[in-house]
């Protein structure tokens, strides 16, 4: 069974049985393929006797969402498993444990997190996550700082850049986030109701200038090892616990791309509240909770990142040059805001959308949510290089919501 082919559920059970010591003797295993993402197969394997379970994620040689016409490297499974293992060391308790990686089968066997809920679904259902800002800011501060030239040996970092070179998945991001939404292409997925707003995106020179700068940063700035796709569908959460999954888009890029992804997806839920809240008071209360979470996430991230730098910084000049840390953090905030804007816009007019908006059943409410998201996204892109505080992002969101 060792040469690559997509597994059947029965084959997944046989592999699970061969993992030494995981399932006890006498286990009775069942398996279900539960993958709901754009790219991979995910098998959930449970032992009805002991109650133990695990997850097997297998890369397909193409993008599942489109089909075999879009071939995709299996090496992404290696990147995902190596990144998960590294994240487990840098941010213990905030990612699933990896039990095994099989290169031939492009397969990662990991901890089953089914006692958590995908955060996007939780937010849509109105659940609040009071510890999320603390957990995700720790995850980002530690994984970004300790893989950057500020926090690790700079020669080793260059070797790590090589290990995590990920051109095919980066190309998806370059096209879907930093190109397609601003041009006319069949790759886009645009509701007819917002055709005018989508058309405006293709003709806005000021916007294109800012997106071109952000695209250049994504293409060229190997600042830290990113998760690369840190949206709320890549977070398993409960009110007490947060686990980040799915780092197959990992590569060395600009830190603000990860922080911006978190903020963008909280704002997509904010826009989606057009429908999900039962009444105006509940809606504005949940929206305020989301905005507070954004501010808390940034502020805690900044505080933790600065503390790591002050304690573990390895770059003499970066550590000591007057004003350098403040300049660096301000630029990181600006990148965060710009990338957040790009990641909102792509989920409204690009190929891949989000349930927070698309599953709104009422056409008029869905259209309002889409327009609000585009207004927020474009405002953030235009704000990015002028921003000096996270409060300015909140002001733009409030102005867009009027
Ligand atoms: N460790 C896990 N524990 C439980 N369920 C998981 C786990 N990893 C993935 N899943 C399930 O599989 C789905 C798809 O996983 P994901 O890693 O996002 O795949 P893709 O890369 O295809 O987007 C998740 O939404 C979740 O329902
Ligand atoms: C053709 S891949 C589109 C989209 O899918 C990825 O997300 P996920 O695998 O978490 O569903 C990523 O965001 C890509 O941009």
CATH number at residue 364: 3.90.1200.10
Give the count of alpha carbons within 13 A of 297, CB side only. Answer: 30
Residue 292 pLDDT > 80, yes or no? yes
3-state secondary structure 333-381: HHHHHHHHHHHHHHHHHCCCCCHHHHCCCCHHHHHHHHHHHHHHHHHHH
Mean pLDDT for 294-320 is 98
Q: Is 112 one of the annotated binding-site residues?
A: yes
pLDDT of residue 164: 98
User: Which ligand has the shortest distance to the CA of 70?
Assistant: 2
Q: Read out DSSP for 71-100? A: E--THHHHHHHHHHHHHHHHSTTSSPPEEE
- CA 310 – ligand 2 centroid, Å: 36
pLDDT of residue 281: 80
Mean pLDDT for 77-82 is 98
- C-alpha separations of 150 from 117, 157, 307, 309 in Å: 34, 10, 12, 7
pLDDT of residue 278: 66
What's the CATH code of the domain at 78?
Answer: 3.30.200.20
pLDDT in tens, 349-358: 999 999 999 9
pLDDT of residue 1: 58
pLDDT in tens, 166-210: 999 999 999 999 999 999 999 999 999 999 999 999 999 999 999
- Same domain for 311 and 182: yes
Mean pLDDT for 97-112 is 98
pLDDT of residue 396: 98
pLDDT of residue 184: 98
| Bridge partners for 96 per DSSP | none
Q: Output the six-digit token pair for 210.
A: 């800012």
Mean pLDDT for 50-77 is 95
- CA 339 – ligand 2 centroid, Å: 16
Q: Is 57 one of the annotated binding-site residues?
A: yes
Q: Is 41 one of the annotated binding-site residues?
A: no
Which atom of ligand 2 is nearest the CA belonging to 65? 1
- Same domain for 296 and 367: yes
Residue 3 belongs to some domain of the structure: no
CB proximity list for 350: less than 8 A, separation 6 or greater: 176, 177, 180, 181, 187, 188, 189
Last residue of some domain: 67, 90, 111?
Answer: 111
- CA 229 – ligand 2 centroid, Å: 7
Q: How high is the mean pLDDT of the chain?
A: 97
Residue 58 belongs to some domain of the structure: yes
Cα–Cα distance measured from residue 315 to residue 310, given in angstroms and rounded to the nearest whole number: 11
Last residue of some domain: 111, 129, 162?
Answer: 111
Mean pLDDT for 218-222 is 98
Mean pLDDT for 104-116 is 98
- CA 339 – ligand 1 centroid, Å: 24
CB proximity list for 362: less than 8 A, separation 6 or greater: 275
Domain count, the chain: 2
Strand 235-237 vs strand 107-111: parallel, antiparallel, or unpaired? unpaired
Q: Is residue 119 lining ligand 1, measured as CB closer than 6 Å?
A: no
Q: Is 80 one of the annotated binding-site residues?
A: no
- Same domain for 199 and 241: yes
- Same domain for 182 and 70: no
- Same domain for 126 and 17: no
- Same domain for 82 and 122: no
- Same domain for 93 and 149: no
Mutate to test the pocket of ligand 2, among 41, 62, 176 (most ligand atoms within 8 A of CB): 176
**Biggest alpha carbon–alpha carbon distance for the chain:** 66
Cα–Cα distance measured from residue 349 to residue 190, given in angstroms and rounded to the nearest whole number: 5
pLDDT band at residue 2 under the 50/70/90 scheme: low
Q: Is residue 98 lining ligand 1, measured as CB closer than 6 Å?
A: no
Last residue of some domain: 111, 142, 159?
Answer: 111
User: Which ligand has the shortest distance to the CA of 72?
Assistant: 2
pLDDT band at residue 277 under the 50/70/90 scheme: low
Domain that holds residue 34: 9-111
Q: Is residue 36 lining ligand 1, measured as CB closer than 6 Å?
A: yes
- CA 390 – ligand 1 centroid, Å: 31
At residue 38, the 3 state secondary structure works out as: coil
- Same domain for 159 and 64: no
pLDDT of residue 110: 98
Percentage of the chain lying above the pLDDT 70 cut = 99
């Amino acid at each position: 069974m060792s040469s690559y082919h997509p597994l059947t559920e029965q084959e997944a059970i046989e592999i699970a049985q061969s993992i030494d010591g995981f399932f006890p003797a006498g286990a009775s295993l069942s398996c279900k393929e539960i993958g709901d993402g754009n790219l991979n197969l995910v098998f959930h394997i449970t032992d009805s006797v002991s109650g133990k379970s695990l997850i097997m994620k297998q890369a397909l040689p193409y993008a599942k969402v489109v089909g075999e016409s879009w071939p995709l490297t299996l090496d992404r499974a290696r990147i995902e498993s190596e990144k998960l293992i590294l994240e487990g060391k840098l941010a213990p308790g905030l990612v699933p444990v990896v039990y095994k990686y099989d290169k031939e089968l492009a397969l990662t066997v990991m901890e089953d997190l089914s006692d958590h809920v995908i955060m996007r679904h939780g937010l849509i259902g109105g659940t609040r996550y009071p510890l999320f800002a603390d957990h995700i800011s720790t995850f980002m501060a530690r994984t970004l700082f300790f893989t950057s030239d500020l926090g690790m040996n700079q020669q080793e970092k260059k070797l790590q850049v090589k290990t995590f070179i990920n051109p095919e998945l980066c190309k998806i991001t370059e096209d879907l986030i930093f190109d397609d939404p601003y041009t006319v292409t069949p790759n886009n997925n645009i509701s007819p109701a917002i055709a005018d707003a989508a058309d405006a995106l293709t003709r806005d020179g000021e916007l294109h200038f800012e997106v071109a700068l952000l695209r250049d940063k994504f293409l060229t700035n190997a600042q830290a090892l990113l998760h690369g796709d840190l949206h709320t569908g890549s977070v398993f959460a409960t009110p007490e616990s947060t686990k980040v999954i799915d780092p197959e888009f990992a590569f060395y890029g600009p830190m603000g791309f990860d922080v911006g992804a978190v903020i963008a997806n909280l704002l997509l839920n904010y826009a989606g509240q057009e429908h999900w809240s039962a009444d105006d008071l509940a809606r504005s209360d949940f929206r305020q909770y989301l905005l507070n979470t954004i501010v808390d996430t940034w502020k805690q991230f900044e505080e933790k990142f600065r503390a790591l730098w002050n304690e573990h910084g390895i770059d003499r000049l970066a550590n000591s040059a007057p004003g350098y840390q403040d300049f660096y953090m301000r630029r990181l905030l600006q990148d965060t805001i710009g990338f957040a804007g790009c990641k909102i816009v792509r989920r409204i007019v690009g190929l891949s959308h989000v349930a927070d908006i698309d599953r709104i059943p009422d056409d008029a409410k869905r259209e309002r949510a889409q327009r609000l998201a585009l207004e927020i996204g474009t405002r953030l892109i235009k704000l990015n290089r002028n921003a000096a505080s996270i409060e300015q992002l909140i002001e733009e969101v409030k102005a867009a919501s009027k």
